[in-house]
Amino acid sequence: MVKHTGRHFLQIPGPTSVPDRVLRAIDMPMIDHRGSEFADLAMQVLSDIKTIFKTDSPVIIFPSSGSGAWEAALVNTLSPGEKVLMFETGHFSSLWEKMAKNFDLDVELIPGDWRTGVDPALVEKNLQNDTNHRIKAVCVVHNETSTGVTTNIKGVRGAIDTAEHPALLMVDTVSSLGAVDYRHDEWKVDVTVSGSQKGLMLPPGLGFTAISKKALEASEKNKMGRAYWSWKEMLKANETGFFPYTPAVGLLYGLKEAIAMLHEEGLNNVFARHARHGEATRRALSAWGLENLAINPDEHSNVVTTVLMPKDHDADSFRKLVLDKFDMSLGAGLGKVAGKVFRIGHIGHHNDLMLAGALAGVEMGLRLSGIRGVSSGVDAALEYLAEQVA
């Protein structure tokens, strides 16, 4: 067995590498979660996190994964039997749809090809046709982590407005928040769902919902059962810096530090860094002669690139080879595209040389797999990165 030295290359699109600074912030003795020291921490992170969602509305922080936040969004706003409009953009939109059905919501799913995002024109058409306003919510995944496709949320908002439809807009930003520009208030999103383990550079374990006034009003009347996920209980406790149950104290120390890091770099610079890495990765892909699963250039994800393997090669065997030989984890193909694609994550605590190393690992793997005349994607990426150094 190969013994690896140096750092493991974790190039999956989350959980992402956690900065040492954040790890040190988490490494604290436990404190009383009902004491004033905790309340000070909670008040600070509950306020600071709003700057990342770009909202003045409350953001709830659950001790949960992103799926918990999905559930919170549904159970706090909708009633069994109510209609929701969802779009099949990939594996994660499909999981959210399955969850909605488990809560007896009447899901209208607009089928998709797993290669494109949500088309605002389709949102508008479906809402225009819903003259009785039976649709209570439109649910969209901002960045489909399985396909590497980013949906234009501003466009979706525009479509809802043009249709003059009162449906709530719910957006999953699990793999975009803190990495791709996102504006909860400006885009009039009603519930934004997110998680800690990707752009926020934390370990998994925090789930977020940012809530508009309209969503909060819906939560006062809707009929879905809820207990752990109740916004009401949480918001009441949060007023004084507490939680209705034991919070993830250590992760909250980490969150405070991660938010500080994002602001030290500047959110626009963080987004620009991800955009550079997305573009450099795509240039490497073109040089390798491989195809991006995401078809439309204006929907290419800047946080993850999903690569189609040539037909006679299995993507999982390729990932295993790269892991065995170079100690690098690449993202697996999920759902419908399992075995057909691998994913290169370039999200979170990530810099040019980490990307160069990751692309070098992919390139060596492609050569070892005997994939036809691979020319240097690394060179193509480095040339672009060097040009773009500010």
Amino acid letter, residue 2: V
Please report whether residue 65 would count as binding ligand PLP according to CB under 6 A: yes
CB 31, min distance to ligand PLP, A: 26
- 66 counts as binding ligand PLP under rule CB under 6 A: yes
* Region binding ligand PLP by CB under 6 A among candidate stretches 61-69, 127-135, 249-257, 282-290: 61-69
Tell the smallest beta-carbon distance from residue 67 to ligand PLP (Å): 3
- The DSSP bridge partners found for residue 156 are none
| 280 secondary structure, DSSP code | H
Q: How far is CA 253 from CA 47, 207, 300, in A?
A: 14, 15, 33
Separation of alpha carbons 284 and 305, rounded Å: 11
Q: Element (H or E) spanning 97, and its range?
A: helix 91-102
Question: CB of 346: closest distance to ligand PLP in angstroms?
Answer: 14
How far, in Å, CA of 157 to CA of 141, rounded?
13
Residue 183-222 contact track with ligand PLP, rule CB under 6 A, x = bound: ------------x--------x------------------
Return the residue nearest ligand PLP (CB atom). Answer: 66
CB of 217 to ligand PLP, least distance (A): 26
Cβ at position 60, least distance to ligand PLP in Å: 15
Find the shortest distance in angstroms from Cβ 112 to ligand PLP. 14
Q: Tell me whether residue 283 or residue 343 sits nearer to ligand PLP (CB atom).
A: 343
- Contact criterion met (CB below 8 Å) for 325 and 6: no
Q: Does 172 interact with ligand PLP (rule: CB under 6 A)?
A: yes
Q: Which of 49, 172, 117 is nearest to 306 (CA)?
A: 117
Tally of CA atoms within 13 A in the half-sphere of 297 that contains its CB: 4
Please give the Cα distance from 132 to 138 (Å, whole number): 15
Q: Give whichever of 14 and 178 is closer to ligand PLP, judged by the CB atom.
A: 14
| Closer to ligand PLP by Cβ: residue 15 or 120 | 15
Between strands 328-332 and 341-345, the pairing is antiparallel
Of residues 71 through 130, those in contact with ligand PLP by CB under 6 A are: 92
Extract the tokens encoding 165. 């439809």
Query: Is residue 16 close enough to count as binding ligand PLP by CB under 6 A?
Result: no
Does 141 bind ligand PLP (CB under 6 A)? Our answer is: yes
Give the Cα separation of 333 and 229 in Å (integer). 30
Site size toward ligand PLP, by CB under 6 A: 12
The amino acid at residue 231 is W
Residues 6+ positions from 104 with CB-CB distance below 8 Å: 80, 81
Q: Is residue 14 involved in binding ligand PLP (CB under 6 A)?
A: yes
- Which residues of the chain form contacts with ligand PLP (CB under 6 A)? 14, 65-67, 92, 141, 145, 172, 174-175, 195, 204
